[in-house]
């Protein structure tokens, strides 16, 4: 009778061998089970149902606990994490079933407690009084196949075993016994033997076989070599170049970690790709599954929303997502007036500027409303199951539609249609999430239950970036896949690409000794830690034993930037040979210029690339087009400061409008708190500033307590997130103290609030330049028959900085705001001047974090911390004069085409260049780098 020969191994789920594609079918225990099921009309599940089985078993456990007369052993862990407990207990149930235990038997007191609970749970599974029908798992399918085997429907098999039979799982051993009963044959692959004992490789093979070495020195004959480097990319470049320069050297490859590093380097050298497939949880499409649940909860998790809108593929139009990401980076809050204005402006712009049809606008708006305009639930509330189900259904349909659209785009552009496996995996995972929800009796899920559900269905997405090409190195992906078929010659050369620790550890047994004794008495086999460790040791040695003439071990210090440990076999290698002789077989790739080549091969020729530092900053650049640069219609105090002290910032930012690409991350802590504090004080003064009766501490504290939540939600939602409560409380305390300090100063000094964020317009009186700005706080009062105005600039912190500005008469912004207020050009729609021209103007800084007012005198506020000895009016006039003179001087430079690059490195050169300049008329220039300079790379500071 003709027999079909197959190869069976624990890691042979792909037909890849060291010699290339397997000439006979290869099977793992799971694929052999599936293959045999087809002959016995036993339907194998089309898709993974593990998550659904876990949920079903969770319900069975819950019912068991409810009926139990005493607390079950699993009660505490089940209360902490029901799904994880169900997964563990279900795996034990399946293991016992696979090992041959008839778990349908009636429990008795003689059975150990934990095993008895397994039987009690099975009784609930089999009971007709409930609807908890547990889907069949691998163990159930195995037992069904064993029961059907006597029908003898499958063709006769000759099974070649890779692993020793005793190392196989108990269920597989039972299946093999059943097949032998029918006449199938099971043969063990021949075990490899140590090679030539005179070579380094042969000596190590003999040592691993248990032989005693008569010569324990490594000579470096090339049969056994270790390639070391700091990073795996260095090793990849070295190996790929060696392959290119030595066309006859074509080793087989073992890659225990499936990444593209070596394959990419090989392709770069013009050699055929090995077609390394890869499974990863980092596929962008899969991240959507983890992030969509963030839309269910309040307070909003801004970081997760930012991640969602920043994904490459997401169920939201990329233009709107980018707009939202930029907004959140600057203002980490949602649904306030600015947010609403941003969203409305986006759709308005898309219609007017990009001519979006109404249908597309509606489609994008619907996407936005599905995710953002939905009811949210507090963390301690339950989200209705239907809401969550709708979310996953939307995600499922989007994944399928997105894949269809991407394949259509491939056709339109004449490209080969991609599979887009990540989207298919996302579709199936969303489908499994829906199935899990449908299987749950609960009508609502809490926050942790939702996250656990996502983790349960979340799995890696397979991808193959390049197909396996003709002439590529034969590659395997597990040490146990290194084998030799009968009649085949051993593989001459083997490259073990990632010779690093990548094996699981087994430290304890799942069963207590009495339980193991009971199972043994019942004839039930389970895998013990000793058996698993023995199997692991056997598997690790396979690549070494199957290398015929040469074995190359690649050992990086880091992989993907993370430090890694050497493979455990390195310790065996060091122990087997004399101390110090390991250096004879080691090549340090990072010192390739001085390293010894692999014997018999041409050493890769690497050329050191000298470091060429970028050019240093130059003091001045002559740009002819700068001569024709015109003045802007309006300047602001900020742009004027850039112009006066750092002209390159003015030209790049304000004239050329060069802006850095927004980094889509939440604003820094200092900036965030400054924005929130500024906004809170602005709103506070707007509401109570005109009502002196309300300007008391109790009113201020009450107002902040009643309004801070809305502000946080709209502009600072990160402070509402889990773990941020201490920072939020501290910020509110700081704001109460600061707000009262400012309100008290206003009230006690007789001021009233004229405006917050008040628009002020004026003329610089230098080249006729118009100015426009917004003063943070403008106060007014009448004293001794004179109208006085105070302009207060609100700052979060920076006490030393603003003290120095006052001392050195460099408070340009305050001087300009004061001058604009005095020019008083603001009028209503009828042309009526809004405010009378003040007789006296005062300026000051208010540092919110410290609750302090900084100024030159105490004429405006008795609480002012004074700095500077000159009379304030004189200083302000002098400051304005220097502003105008310096402004004219800078524009004179522009008219000559000269752009000054001022930083610490160029300040000395500029001082020499400006010898003879009348500095009494101008501001003294800065000698340090500009703060918050986005153009450091352009001017050469970043090299």
* CATH number of residue 505's parent domain: 3.40.50.300
Question: Which letter does DSSP use for residue 695 in this model?
Answer: -
Query: What does the alpha-carbon distance between residue 238 and residue 587 come to, in Å, rounded to a whole number?
Result: 11
708, 736 contact by CB (below 8 A): no
Tokens of 357: 């049809």
The last residue of a domain, from among 851, 869, 887: 869
pLDDT at residue 797 in the model: 87
Total number of domains in the chain: 4
Range(s) of the domain holding residue 106: 50-135
**H or E stretch including 204?**
helix 200-208
Say whether pLDDT at 365 is over 90. Answer: yes
Q: Is the dihedral of CA 70, 74, 79, 85 positive or negative?
A: negative
Question: Which letter does DSSP use for residue 511 in this model?
Answer: S
Strand partners, 628: none
Say whether pLDDT at 829 is over 70. Answer: no
pLDDT at residue 828 in the model: 53
Classify residue 111: in a domain, yes or no. yes
The last residue of a domain, from among 843, 869, 895: 869
Same structural domain, 836 and 710: yes
Give 749-794 pLDDT, tens digit per residue. Answer: 989 988 888 888 888 877 678 888 888 899 999 888 889 999 999 9
Same structural domain, 57 and 155: no
Classify residue 219: in a domain, yes or no. yes
Classify residue 394: in a domain, yes or no. no
Same structural domain, 22 and 71: no
Closest CA to 460 of 495, 429, 482, 435: 429
Query: What does the alpha-carbon distance between residue 829 and residue 177 come to, in Å, rounded to a whole number?
Result: 98
Give 863-904 pLDDT, tens digit per residue. Answer: 999 987 778 888 888 999 999 999 999 999 999 999 999 999
Same structural domain, 169 and 73: no
Classify residue 317: in a domain, yes or no. no
494, 543 contact by CB (below 8 A): yes
Cα 897 to Cα 616, 677, 903, 923, distances in angstroms: 21, 42, 19, 21
Same structural domain, 255 and 167: no
pLDDT at residue 656 in the model: 87
Same structural domain, 9 and 66: no
Classify residue 827: in a domain, yes or no. yes
Query: What does the alpha-carbon distance between residue 697 and residue 461 come to, in Å, rounded to a whole number?
Result: 59
For residue 689, give the CATH number of its domain: 3.90.320
Closest CA to 887 of 533, 591, 643: 643
Residue 342 half-sphere exposure toward CB, CA atoms < 13 A: 21
Question: What mean pLDDT is predicted for residues 809-835?
Answer: 76
pLDDT at residue 717 in the model: 80
Same structural domain, 502 and 571: yes
Beta sheet of 865-866, edge-to-edge order: 752-763, 770-783, 786-795, 840-847, 852-855, 865-866
Range name among 459-463, 586-590, 687-691 with the lowest pLDDT average: 459-463
pLDDT at residue 462 in the model: 67
Query: What does the alpha-carbon distance between residue 720 and residue 691 come to, in Å, rounded to a whole number?
Result: 31
Could you tell me which residues come within 8 angstroms of residue 198 by beta carbon, excluding any fewer than 6 positions away? none
3-state secondary structure of 863: coil
**Total residues belonging to the chain:** 943
**H or E stretch including 868?**
none
Say whether pLDDT at 465 is over 80. Answer: no
Query: What does the alpha-carbon distance between residue 239 and residue 265 come to, in Å, rounded to a whole number?
Result: 8
Q: Is 780 exposed, middle or buried (0-12, 13-18, 19+ CB in 10 A)?
A: middle
Say whether pLDDT at 341 is over 90. Answer: yes
**546 preceded by a cis bond (ω within 30 of 0):** no
Same structural domain, 107 and 243: no
In terms of DSSP H, where are the helices of 227-293? 232-245, 261-268, 284-291
Tokens of 173: 């051993």
Classify residue 110: in a domain, yes or no. yes
Query: What does the alpha-carbon distance between residue 838 and residue 789 come to, in Å, rounded to a whole number?
Result: 6
Could you tell me which residues come within 8 angstroms of residue 421 by beta carbon, excluding any fewer than 6 positions away? 461, 462, 463
Same structural domain, 736 and 855: yes
CA dihedral 931, 932, 937, 940 (to 10 degrees): -10
3-state secondary structure of 254: strand
Say whether pLDDT at 1 is over 70. Answer: no
Same structural domain, 126 and 254: no
Give 273-315 pLDDT, tens digit per residue. Answer: 998 887 766 566 678 888 888 899 888 888 888 889 888 888 9
Same structural domain, 164 and 208: no
Q: Report the 10 Å Cβ neighbour count for 736.
A: 18
Q: Report the 10 Å Cβ neighbour count for 170.
A: 18
SS3 of 455-493: the string is: HHHCCCEEEECCCCCCCCCCEECCHHHCCCCCCCCCEEE
pLDDT at residue 592 in the model: 58
Classify residue 750: in a domain, yes or no. yes
When pLDDT is cut at 50, 70 and 90, the band that residue 595 belongs to is low
**pTM flag (> 0.75):** yes
The last residue of a domain, from among 869, 890, 918: 869
Query: What does the alpha-carbon distance between residue 747 and residue 235 come to, in Å, rounded to a whole number?
Result: 72
Same structural domain, 687 and 822: yes
pLDDT at residue 693 in the model: 77
Q: Give counts: helices (H), strands (E), the chain.
A: 31, 27
498, 253 contact by CB (below 8 A): no
Query: What does the alpha-carbon distance between residue 729 and residue 447 come to, in Å, rounded to a whole number?
Result: 24
Range name among 91-100, 219-228, 284-293, 820-829 with the lowest pLDDT average: 820-829
Could you tell me what percent of the chain has a pLDDT over 70?
96
pLDDT at residue 505 in the model: 62
Say whether pLDDT at 117 is over 70. Answer: yes
Question: Which letter does DSSP use for residue 194 in this model?
Answer: -
Say whether pLDDT at 508 is over 80. Answer: no
Tokens of 776: 């943070």
Classify residue 445: in a domain, yes or no. no
Q: What is the mean pLDDT of the chain?
A: 88
Closest CA to 701 of 732, 744, 665: 732
């Amino acid at each position: 009778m003709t027999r079909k020969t197959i190869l069976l191994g624990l890691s042979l789920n792909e037909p890849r061998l060291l010699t290339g594609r397997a000439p006979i079918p290869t099977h793992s225990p799971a694929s052999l089970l599936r293959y045999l099921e087809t002959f016995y009309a036993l339907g194998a599940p089309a898709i993974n149902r593990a998550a659904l089985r876990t949920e079903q078993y969770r319900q069975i456990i819950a019912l068991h606990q409810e009926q139990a007369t005493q607390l079950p052993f699993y009660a505490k862990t089940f209360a902490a994490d029901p799904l994880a407990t169900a997964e563990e207990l279900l795996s034990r149930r399946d293991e016992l079933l696979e090992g041959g235990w008839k778990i349908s038997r009636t429990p008795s007191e003689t059975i150990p407690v934990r095993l008895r609970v397994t039987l009690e749970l099975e009784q609930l599974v089999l009971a007709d009084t409930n609807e908890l029908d547990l889907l069949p798992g691998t163990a159930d399918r195995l037992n069904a196949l064993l029961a059907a085997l006597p029908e003898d429907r499958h063709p006769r098999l000759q099974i070649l075993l890779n692993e020793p039979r005793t190392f196989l799982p108990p269920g597989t051993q039972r299946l093999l016994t059943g097949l032998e009963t029918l006449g199938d044959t099971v043969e063990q692959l021949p075990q490899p033997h140590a090679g030539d004992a005179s070579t380094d490789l042969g000596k190590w093979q003999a040592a691993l076989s248990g032989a005693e070495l008569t010569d324990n020195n490594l000579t470096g004959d090339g049969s056994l070599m270790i390639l070391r480097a700091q990073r795996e990319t260095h090793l990849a470049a070295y190996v790929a170049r060696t392959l290119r320069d030595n066309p006859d050297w074509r080793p087989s490859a073992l890659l225990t970690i499936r990444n593209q590093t070596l394959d990419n380097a090989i392709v770069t050298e013009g050699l055929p790709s090995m077609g390394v497939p890869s499974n990863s949880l980092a596929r962008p499409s899969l991240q959507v599954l983890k992030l969509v649940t963030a839309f269910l909860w309040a307070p909003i998790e801004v970081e997760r929303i930012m991640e969602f809108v920043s994904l490459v593929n997401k169920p939201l139009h990329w233009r709107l997502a980018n707009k939202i990401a930029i907004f959140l980076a600057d203002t980490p809050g949602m649904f306030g007036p600015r947010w609403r204005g941003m969203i409305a402006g986006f759709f308005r712009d898309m219609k007017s500027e990009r001519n979006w049809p109404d249908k597309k606008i509606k489609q994008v708006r619907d996407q936005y409303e599905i995710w953002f305009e939905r009811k949210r639930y507090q963390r301690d509330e339950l989200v209705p199951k239907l809401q969550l189900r709708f979310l996953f259904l939307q995600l499922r349909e989007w994944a399928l539609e997105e894949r269809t659209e991407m394949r259509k785009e491939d056709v339109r552009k004449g490209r080969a249609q991609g599979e887009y496996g990540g989207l298919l995996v996302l579709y199936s995972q969303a489908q499994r999430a829906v199935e899990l929800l449908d299987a749950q009796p609960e009508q609502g899920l809490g926050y942790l239950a939702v996250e656990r559900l996502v983790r349960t269905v979340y799995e890696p997405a397979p991808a193959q970036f390049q197909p396996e090409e003709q002439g590529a190195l034969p590659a395997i992906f597990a040490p146990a896949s290194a084998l030799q078929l009968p009649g085949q010659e051993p593989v001459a050369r083997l490259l073990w690409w990632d010779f690093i620790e990548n094996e699981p550890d087994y430290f304890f047994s799942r069963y207590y000794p009495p339980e193991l004794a009971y199972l043994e008495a019942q004839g039930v086999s389970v895998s013990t830690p000793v058996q698993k460790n023995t199997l692991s040791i056997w598997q690790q040695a396979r690549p070494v034993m199957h290398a015929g003439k040469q074995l190359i071990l690649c050992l990086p210090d880091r992989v993907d930037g993370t430090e890694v440990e050497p493979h455990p076999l390195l310790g065996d290698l060091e122990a087997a040979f004399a101390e110090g002789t390991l250096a004879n077989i080691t090549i340090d790739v990072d010192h390739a210029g001085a390293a010894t080549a692999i014997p018999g091969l041409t050493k890769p020729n690497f050329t050191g690339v000298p470091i060429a530092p970028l050019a240093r900053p130059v003091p001045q650049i002559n740009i002819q087009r700068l001569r024709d640069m015109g003045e802007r219609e309006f300047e602001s105090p900020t742009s004027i400061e850039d112009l006066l002290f750092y002209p390159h910032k003015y030209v790049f930012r304000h004239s050329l409008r060069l802006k850095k690409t927004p980094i889509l991350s939440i604003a820094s802590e200092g900036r965030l708190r400054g924005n929130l504090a500024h906004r809170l004080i602005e709103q506070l003064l707007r509401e109570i500033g005109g009502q002196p009766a309300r300007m008391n501490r109790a009113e201020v504290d009450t107002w902040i307590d009643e309004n801070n939540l809305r502000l946080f939600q709209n502009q600072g939602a990160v402070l509402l997130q889990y773990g941020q409560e201490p920072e939020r409380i501290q910020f509110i305390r700081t704001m109460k103290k600061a707000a009262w300090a400012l309100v008290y100063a206003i009230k006690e000094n007789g001021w009233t609030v004229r405006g917050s964020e008040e628009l002020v317009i004026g003329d610089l009186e230098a080249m006729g330049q118009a100015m426009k700005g917004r003063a943070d706080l403008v106060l007014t009062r009448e004293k001794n028959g004179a109208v006085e105005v105070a302009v207060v600039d609100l700052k979060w912190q920076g006490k030393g900085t603003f003290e120095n500005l006052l001392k050195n008469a460099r408070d340009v912004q305050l001087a300009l705001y004061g001058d604009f207020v005095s020019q008083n050009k603001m009028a209503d729609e009828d042309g009526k001047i809004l405010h009378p021209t003040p007789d006296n103007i005062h300026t000051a800084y208010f540092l919110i974090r410290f609750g302090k007012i900084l100024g030159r005198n105490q004429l405006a506020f008795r609480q002012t911390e004074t700095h500077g000895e000159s009379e304030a009016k004189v200083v302000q006039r002098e400051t304005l004069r220097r502003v105008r003179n310096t402004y004219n001087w800078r524009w004179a430079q522009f008219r000559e085409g000269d752009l000054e690059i001022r930083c610490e490195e160029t300040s000395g050169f500029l001082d020499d260049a400006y010898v003879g300049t009348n500095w009494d008329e101008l501001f003294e220039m800065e000698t340090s780098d500009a703060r918050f300079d986005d153009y450091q790379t352009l001017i050469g500071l970043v090299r």
